[in-house]
Amino acid sequence: MKILVTGHSGYIGSVLTPMLIAAGHKVVGIDSELFQQCTFGDEADTRVPCLNIDIRELGAEHLRGFDAVMHLAGVCNDPMGDLLPETTHEINHVATVRLAELAKAAGVKRFIFSSTCSVYGASTKDWVDETAEPNPVTAYGVSKYRAERGLLALTSDDFSPVLLRSATAFGFSPRIRFDLVLNNLVAHAFTTGNVFLKSDGMAWRPIVHIEDISRAFLAALEAPREIVHNEVFNVGVTTENYRIREIADIVKKVVAGSEIAYSEGAGADKRSYRVDCSKIAMKLPNFRPQWTAWSGAKELRDKYTEFGLALADFEGERYQRLAYLKSVIGQGFLDNSLRWLPLAQAWRSGISRRRANGVDDGRLSGA
């Protein structure tokens, strides 16, 4: 099949794209390269035909001829959503629904949306499945849930939205995110010797490796229409629900010599939910997750060792998503709507030129 993947160079996309190609699909990517500067380790092999364009600028002509759209692009976490709530709404909700409308008009049959278990927010139930009433508590979670409702309203005999609510992601990627709980705790333990918790660690969180998220996308793509049409799936493994302090204990055992530490005044996290993922296991038998928190922590430890990681790296401007955006906006390369400004052209060209010459100096300014 011919697949359009938005955000194909991002944290998940840089893992999903090679997986789709290996499965025999033709892939075209869409990515504004917002995090072009943030590659950790070796660049991903995502050399597919692509458009370096903001999803808000896409037209119907960009959607014709595809069998499916996999929509990953968007504002990716709670801190960014809190910093730019209006932009988060514009990209994650409005632009997502608009993209689906264009896809439907262009004859695309299947639209697979990267949603999130964050839509469950502060759950009052011991366990939540896809029938639970969402209760998002952040701008990010609200934007994703509104997008879900907009997509389901477009359902027709010729257009099948599929909503994949992923658990909290973890795992190595060339565009790694250090704001995710397991990635972050291993990074702190590796660089400082402390498994550093910023809350009391009592909140529940489901976690899932990005390779397994990618396997869910592939399974949803290849499943018969009647299985996935107008369906919502929690993506993860039911046994991979943990209290944050349980994840911290795993990290302590994986990273030798580390100890658990709490930030001063660490309190409760209002986001707490345990997610039942039995539906995807039953409906999509080709979805076979392979990772656990234990194996993921070991992978991250080994990758941090292989490529080298310092505290200043993952908490600084280059790899910390929020700090990076603030820096790029502050330097006049990006506006508050997350659109590139003319000043950024030479800077971005300089990044690409240095990479082509085998230089990756981590500079945030200058060409």
**Could you tell me which of 170, 165, 320, 167 has the C-alpha nearest to residue 250?**
170
- What are 327-345's pLDDT values in tens digits? 999 999 999 999 999 888 7
Residue type for position 106: A
Q: Could you count the other beta carbons within 10 Å of the beta carbon of residue 235?
A: 30
pLDDT tier for residue 357 given thresholds of 50, 70 and 90: very low
- Residues 6+ positions from 61 with CB-CB distance below 8 Å: none
Residue 262 exposed, middle or buried by CB count within 10 Å (0-12, 13-18, 19+) = middle
CA distances for 122 relative to 33, 66, 144, angstroms: 33, 38, 15
Count of beta carbons in the 10 Å neighbourhood of residue 79 = 16
Domain boundaries, the chain: 2-322, 323-356
pLDDT tens, position by position, 162-194: 999 999 999 999 999 999 999 999 999 999 999
What pLDDT is stored for residue 352 in this prediction?
A: 52
Fold of 2-322: Rossmann fold (3.40.50)
pLDDT digits (tens, 9 = 90+) for 7-16: 999 999 999 9
Helix residue spans in 158-237 (DSSP H): 181-192, 210-222, 225-228
Q: What is the DSSP letter of 56?
A: G
Rounded to whole angstroms, the Cα distance separating 219 from 260 reads 38
Q: What is the dihedral of CA 130, 132, 138, 142, to 10 degrees?
A: 70
For residue range 196-219, list pLDDT tens digits in order: 998 899 989 999 999 999 999 999
The yes-or-no verdict on residue 359 having pLDDT over 50 is: no
Question: What is the phi/psi pair of residue 360, to 5°?
Answer: -140, 85
Question: Tokens at residue 171, please?
Answer: 């795992």
The answer to whether the beta carbons of residues 185 and 247 sit under 8 Å apart is yes
pLDDT, one tens digit per residue, over 231-285 is 999 999 999 999 999 999 999 999 999 999 998 877 777 778 899 999 999 999 9
The answer to whether residue 152 scores a pLDDT higher than 50 is yes
pTM above 0.85, yes or no: yes
Query: What is the pLDDT confidence band of residue 46, given thresholds at 50, 70 and 90?
Result: low
